[in-house]
């Protein structure tokens, strides 16, 4: 069984100061997909990850201290693909993919639209282009595990206050519609596949003691393509990990 973790660390250097490497050693995952590394390649602790038993592959943003994704993996991939081939997104370090035989695992950081209309428009453009990219990719790589921060809650169960947040970026009708049709295009929300209970979140605001009161949003997903459904073994969220305003999410799969 392969244990895959996705984790928006909200700054890899900040996470390292909070004991992230000790957590990695204890978590004992086969693949760790990181988002929002906020680091240039020379600022990512490759040596420490190597000491923990991982190869490190990264895609940093051009802008320093911003965005960025990485994959830590115990097994060396056959191929690593950086970006999606569209400069305005690739300059922001949004996606990296590792291929293992006929299975691909990607770390993806979808844009946030919470800063205003310009970035919300950018987010919606990205979502449309991302869907096209994945539709095309599935033709040659049908076995996909797309891990990351999607910055969208799918359903009311995925957010602590769906009524008051109905007009908030991350829970807008058009975003929820997008993630619904993305799943319908051939993916499984692995956490919901195994768990239909409420009050499970992966991100909490730093404001108003939100995390202590579990007033959160579930915006991080390990999306598994339908051909891999029979391989799924389990999925869970790890809210006790405290290196970020997000927490790690896990999928166990026989690949």
pLDDT tens, position by position, 51-67 = 999 999 999 999 999 99
How many domains are contained in the chain? Answer: 1
pLDDT tens, position by position, 12-50 = 999 999 999 999 999 999 999 999 999 999 999 999 999
- 105 band by pLDDT with thresholds 50, 70 and 90: very high
pLDDT average, residue stretch 217-228:
98
The whole domain housing 63 covers: 2-253
Confidence (pLDDT) at 19: 98
Do the beta carbons of residue 70 and residue 56 sit within 8 Å? yes
From the list 87, 117, 149, 197, the catalytic residue is 149
- 245 catalytic? Reply is no
Residue 49 is encoded by which pair of tokens? 């990850």
Confidence (pLDDT) at 96: 99
Q: Where are the alpha helices (DSSP H) in the chain?
A: 12-17, 20-27, 46-51, 87-90, 117-140, 173-184, 190-194
Whole-number average pLDDT of the chain: 98
For residue 223, the 8-state DSSP code is E
Give CA 244 to chain center in angstroms: 13
Confidence (pLDDT) at 158: 98
Confidence (pLDDT) at 236: 98
Please state the pTM of the whole predicted model: 0.98
Cα 197–Cα 221–Cα 22 angle in degrees, nearest 5: 100
pLDDT tens, position by position, 143-180 = 999 999 999 999 999 999 999 999 999 999 999 999 99
Query: In angstroms, rounded to a whole number, what is the distance separating the alpha carbons of residues 218 and 246?
Result: 9
CB proximity list for 26: less than 8 A, separation 6 or greater: none
Residues 211-214: contacts with CB under 8 Å, at least 24 apart: 211/245, 214/160, 214/239
Confidence (pLDDT) at 160: 98
Give CA 108 to chain center in angstroms: 5
The domain spanning residue 32 has which CATH number? 3.60.10.10
């Amino acid at each position: 069984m392969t244990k895959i973790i996705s984790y928006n660390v909200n700054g890899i250097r900040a996470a390292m100061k909070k004991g992230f490497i000790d957590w990695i050693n204890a978590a004992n995952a086969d693949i760790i997909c990181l988002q929002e590394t906020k680091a240039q390649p020379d600022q990512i602790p490759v040596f420490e990850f190597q000491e923990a038993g991982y190869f490190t592959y990264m895609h940093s943003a051009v802008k320093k201290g911003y965005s960025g994704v990485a994959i830590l993996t115990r097994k060396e991939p056959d191929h690593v693909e950086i970006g999606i081939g569209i400069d305005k997104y690739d300059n922001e370090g949004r996606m990296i993919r590792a291929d293992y035989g006929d299975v691909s695992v990607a770390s993806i950081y979808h844009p946030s639209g919470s800063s205003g209309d310009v970035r919300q428009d950018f987010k919606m453009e990205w979502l449309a282009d991302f869907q096209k990219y994945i539709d095309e990719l599935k033709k040659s790589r049908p076995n996909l595990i797309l891990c990351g921060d999607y910055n969208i809650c799918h359903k009311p169960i995925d957010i602590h206050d769906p009524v008051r947040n109905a007009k908030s970026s991350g829970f807008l009708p058009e975003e929820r519609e997008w993630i619904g049709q993305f799943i319908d295009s051939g993916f499984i929300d692995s956490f919901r596949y195994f768990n239909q209970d409420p009050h499970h979140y992966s991100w909490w605001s730093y404001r108003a003691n939100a995390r202590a009161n579990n007033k959160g949003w579930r915006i991080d997903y390990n999306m598994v393509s339908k051909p891999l459904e029979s391989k799924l073994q389990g999925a869970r969220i790890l809210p006790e990990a405290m290196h970020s305003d997000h927490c790690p999410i896990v999928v166990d799969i026989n690949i």
